[in-house]
Amino acid sequence: MSGLAFIIAGMLAAATPFLLAALGELVAERSGVLNLGIEGMMAFGAVVAFIIVHQGGGHAAGFLAAGVAGMALALVFAWLALSLRANQVAAGLAIAILGEGLSALFGKTYESTTVTGLPKIAVPGLADLPVAGGLFQQDPIVWLTLLATLGLWYALRFTKLGLVIRAVGENPGAARAIGYPVLAIRYGAVAFGGLMAGFAGAYASTVYTPLWAEGMIAGRGWIALALVVFATWMTGRVFFGAVLFGAVSLGGLAAQASGVSLNSQFLASLPYIVTIIVLGIISSNKRLLKINGVASLGEPFGP
């Protein structure tokens, strides 16, 4: 397989953890809540899913348990940030540290053990294409994530629920004045973000790299946070950004396989270098951020 074919075949799978976590964070931020705890929620979800699958519970049970675990941490964050009106940045960082600590604690006895991943589902005809055929051979979670991306885009853009979530993020005072329960909606949005972060962690530990190693999330949660800003809070751009980062994460491996001599530490840092560059470019466009930004993001709202 050529380097290009390798990148094309694997970029959707590599993008899936970023995409799942970023979609959840997108909904939370659209409601006006900045949750920096995604990394910890992913890590906790990853270890919970791995333990379930390793013990013979199956991938479906593992993903469900991971989603519940991520949601549990998200609700702790919501209680701190929404009910107690704690600083959202500080509360999110605390949850990130808590989740990573819990993952290290529960995963200690499973260090370096493996589980069986999921088989790939090929699209007949398209999977046999030269070079690009690998793009149409993906595991079930990748296909479901693509459907979830389309569903979330439609929900935020064309449904009443999406309009309400966006209204709460833009002007919570006005939303409450016309009868919408702002805190309840934000609780739901944050819980959804935790659910998706748990799914992202489960995919990373039981499908994409079906083994457990402490710290295996390796900053994916932080990149997912950056993706939401990179996308200027638009679902389609979140998808393309996740695919970009997935391709970048595979690009170094493809280069090495092609005989290019690259330092392993440099390869590991490539996604973060790209994150910094992209955020710098996006942040320089004040007009774009103002048009698509969320007016009340990170601001507390009283009962």
Query: Is residue 131, in this structure, part of any structural domain at all?
Result: yes
Query: Is residue 232, in this structure, part of any structural domain at all?
Result: yes
Ranges in the chain, pLDDT < 50: none
Across the chain, the runs of DSSP E, i.e. the strands, are 121-122, 137-138
Task: Assign residue 104 the CATH number of its domain.
Answer: 1.10.3470
Token pair recorded at residue 63: 């993903």
Q: What's the confidence (pLDDT) of residue 125?
A: 84
2: region left, alpha or beta (phi > 0 left; psi from -120 to 50 alpha): beta
**Nearest-CA neighbor of 55 among 113, 108, 103?**
113
Query: Is residue 25, in this structure, part of any structural domain at all?
Result: yes
Query: Is residue 302, in this structure, part of any structural domain at all?
Result: no
Q: What's the confidence (pLDDT) of residue 260?
A: 64
Distance CA 28, CA 189 (A): 5
Query: Is residue 298, in this structure, part of any structural domain at all?
Result: no
Own/partner long-range contacts of 61-65 (Cβ < 8 Å, ≥24 apart): 62/202, 62/206, 63/141, 63/199, 63/202, 63/203, 63/206
Q: What's the confidence (pLDDT) of residue 257?
A: 62
Is the pTM of the predicted complex or chain greater than 0.85?
yes
pLDDT digits (tens, 9 = 90+) for 104-125: 999 999 998 999 999 999 888 8
Query: Is residue 200, in this structure, part of any structural domain at all?
Result: yes
Token pair recorded at residue 14: 């590599």
How many structural domains are present in the chain?
1
Q: What's the confidence (pLDDT) of residue 133?
A: 81
Query: Is residue 303, in this structure, part of any structural domain at all?
Result: no
Residue 176: domain span = 3-292
Q: What's the confidence (pLDDT) of residue 203?
A: 97
Strand partners, 114: 211
Q: Are 21 and 241 in contact (CB under 8 A)?
A: no
- Cα 158 to Cα 113, 166, 184, 228, 290: the distances in Å are 45, 11, 21, 20, 22
